[in-house]
Amino acid sequence: MPERRNIEGMYVFRCRRCHADLTGPLREVALPDEDDAPLPFELPEGQDECPQRMDVGCFAFDPPPLQAQHLVPTGRGAIRIPAFTKVDGVLVNQGDAPGLARVTLRGRLNGCCGLDGCDGPNLQCRFCTAEVAVERSDCWTPQQVTFVARAVEFVLAPPAEHGEATRG
């Protein structure tokens, strides 16, 4: 498999339907191995908060695309993820996605201590209610948010936004 460089720069992920910002500026990193992700039920006694699988300020394609040049610009200066790349999702830290809200379909919100994410998208765009992501936050799952690849687009963050939280 050819080695792939990360795409350069900071990117904001947006809803592909209404183009609203869903994240702050994020940079691409290698996909953290799911087998290494901390699980709440495995935490040592006395540690309440389980770390997210993805670090703050970062994202990763899941599974990683083979070649960065497959990520082609669309109109409005945005980039979308074409279906042929086989990228199903984009992994982010839950704290980096303030543009998301839980869906109202109860069948999507199953879980034990949190959401297990096993029933399809359980997070929607806060602005237009498009279903855009899957939250996993149960005691036996990695703690993560994964955008549905075809439901989002991303844009290069303006330099002024680097290191700052998203609008709102």
- Residues in touch with Zn ion (CB under 5 A): 15, 17-18, 125, 127-128, 130
Nearest approach in angstroms of CB 58 to Zn ion is: 23
Cis-peptide, bond into residue 63, ω within 30° of zero = yes
Nearest approach in angstroms of CB 14 to Zn ion is: 8
Nearest approach in angstroms of CB 19 to Zn ion is: 7
Smaller CB separation from Zn ion, 108 or 126: 126
95, 52 Cβ separation under 8 angstroms: yes
Tokens representing residue 63 in the block: 């599974």
Nearest approach in angstroms of CB 134 to Zn ion is: 16
Smaller CB separation from Zn ion, 32 or 99: 99
Smaller CB separation from Zn ion, 113 or 128: 128
Look up residue 130 and give its amino acid. A
Smaller CB separation from Zn ion, 91 or 125: 125
Look up residue 94 and give its amino acid. Q
DSSP string spanning 116-148?
A: --TTS--EEETTT--EEEEEE-STTS--EEEEE
Smaller CB separation from Zn ion, 19 or 86: 19
Nearest approach in angstroms of CB 68 to Zn ion is: 26
User: What is the C-alpha to C-alpha distance for residues 141 and 52, in angstroms, rounded to an integer?
Assistant: 10
Angle at the Cα of 92 from the Cα atoms of 5 and 118, rounded to 5 degrees: 120
